[in-house]
Amino acid sequence: MRATLLRALVVLWVLLIVAAAVTSLVLASRRPDAISALLGAALCSAVVGAILALKVPSNSVGPIALIAGSAGVVFLFGTDYGLTSLGSESPPWGVDFFAWLAAWVGALFPIGVSLLIMVFPTGRPMGRWRFLMIGPIVGAVTTVIGAFLVWGLPVETLVNSARISQIGGYGFVDAGFILGFLFSVPATVSVVARFRGAGFVERQQIKWLLAATCVFALAFIVGAISEVDWVWWIIGLAMAAIPLAILLAVLRYRLYEIDRIISRTVTYVSVIALLGGVYLAGLTAMTTILPAESPLAVAGSTLAVAALFNPVRRRIQAWVDRRFSRSRYDAQKVMDRFAGSLQDRVDSEGLVNGWVGVVSETMQPASVSVWVRDNHVPS
């Protein structure tokens, strides 16, 4: 009965968070794309946290992700709700409360992210790194203290970052923001240390998080140097990939495909970068020979890149497999060598011994046994 009630409350809370996010988008239709992307990532984190809290209740990753994502959504919703009320003659229902929430609950987002990194993927911090949890916990305490100190302030102050930063009590909320962002750095270091001492399964889980984080970092760099607004939606999707990677890692869904994903990602990024350089170099060289308006320069460079794509991709893929997937590369070599020797083996005993050797070398099992059906029919 208690578990059923808890599940119902989690589902109800997620529905309220989704409604708050949709309302926030409607209220602030002209807000910067960067803020909308942050809202989508926070909503994704809340939904993922709810799924993990229901599926794996013993793991603290789910509740922490749910709290962090909910804090981000409530922060943006409360701010938009408060700003909308400033132009109305009569204040809408609950605007004072939601504006007050928006004034401090946003600090719980970076605090929750720091805690989430520290406890991923087991739900517990690793050994000697447990002391790092003091920072986010202290940040949460100072945030709550600051929440009490800013209670009762007018809405126009609560939703205005310049005004509220001049309030003395708001310094406690700022301390929460600072501690949350500050401790995310050593928390990331602890994940690297956990990876070095982890077993195979836990390493695969951490790879999912690291891969999603690298995608987000790459998207953020592209967004920082780009001048188009829609690129922030790409950054939002990349940011949302982090909680999705956490979901797949904790639930261990397609856990072992991360090596293949990383391998293919490194391969195609390298191919694109290399062929992009070849295209620019070829285009520059041909424009010095041909007239500037001639389409032959573009056509020649394009044909060269098209001709080089498959050979370059195969060579880079082989190099990536040797460097990053050595065990898979070696196993494939053993299988190829065995397949090549089949034409020289005609006796069943030699075939069985060869197959046992291949399995032992590639899989390294504790024992190997082969059952061969006897097709001899007695007369």
pLDDT at 232 over 80: no
Q: What is the pLDDT of residue 293?
A: 63
Least confident of 77-86, 175-184, 280-289: 280-289
pLDDT at 220 over 60: yes
Count of H-run helices and E-run strands, the chain:
16, 0
Residues constituting the chain: 379
CA dist 175 and 111 (Å) reads 11
Q: Of 43, 42, 46, 44, nearest to 63 (Cα)?
A: 46
CA dist 89 and 94 (Å) reads 15
By the 10 Å C-beta count (0-12 exposed, 13-18 middle, 19+ buried), 157 is classed as: middle
Tokens found for residue 324: 């990053």
Predicted confidence band of residue 366 (pLDDT cuts 50, 70, 90): low
Q: What is the pLDDT of residue 325?
A: 57
CA dihedral 265, 41, 222, 263 (to 10 degrees): -10
What is the average per-residue pLDDT within 229-235?
Answer: 72
pLDDT at 272 over 70: yes
Q: What is the pLDDT of residue 190?
A: 85
Predicted confidence band of residue 246 (pLDDT cuts 50, 70, 90): confident
CA dist 166 and 164 (Å) reads 5
pLDDT at 379 over 50: no
Please state, as a whole number, how many other Cβ atoms lie within 10 Å of the Cβ of residue 100: 20
Q: Of 60, 43, 47, nearest to 239 (Cα)?
A: 43
Predicted confidence band of residue 21 (pLDDT cuts 50, 70, 90): confident
239 and 216 Cβ atoms separated by less than 8 Å: yes
CA dist 119 and 280 (Å) reads 46
Predicted confidence band of residue 71 (pLDDT cuts 50, 70, 90): very high
DSSP 8-state assignment for residue 369: -
- Report pLDDT digits (tens) over 104-157: 998 998 898 889 888 888 888 877 788 888 999 999 999 999 999 989 888 888
Give residue 70's identity as a one-letter amino acid code. S
Q: What is the pLDDT of residue 82?
A: 86
CA dist 291 and 300 (Å) reads 13
Helix axes 184-197, 200-225, angle to 10 degrees: 140
Q: How far is CA 50 from the centre of its chain?
A: 17
- Report pLDDT digits (tens) over 306-361: 888 888 888 888 877 766 555 555 556 666 666 666 666 556 666 666 666 666 55
Percentage, residues of the chain above pLDDT 90:
14
**Mean pLDDT (the chain, rounded):** 79
Helices (H), 56-85: 61-85
What is the average per-residue pLDDT within 181-208?
Answer: 83
Tokens found for residue 52: 């993990």
Q: What is the pLDDT of residue 137?
A: 92
Helix axes 134-149, 171-182, angle to 10 degrees: 160
Q: Does domain 2-253 have CATH number 1.20.1070?
A: yes
pLDDT at 294 over 90: no
- Report pLDDT digits (tens) over 55-67: 888 888 999 999 9
Secondary structure string (H, E, C) spanning 125-156: CCHHHHHHHHHHHHHHHHHHHHHHHCCCCCHH
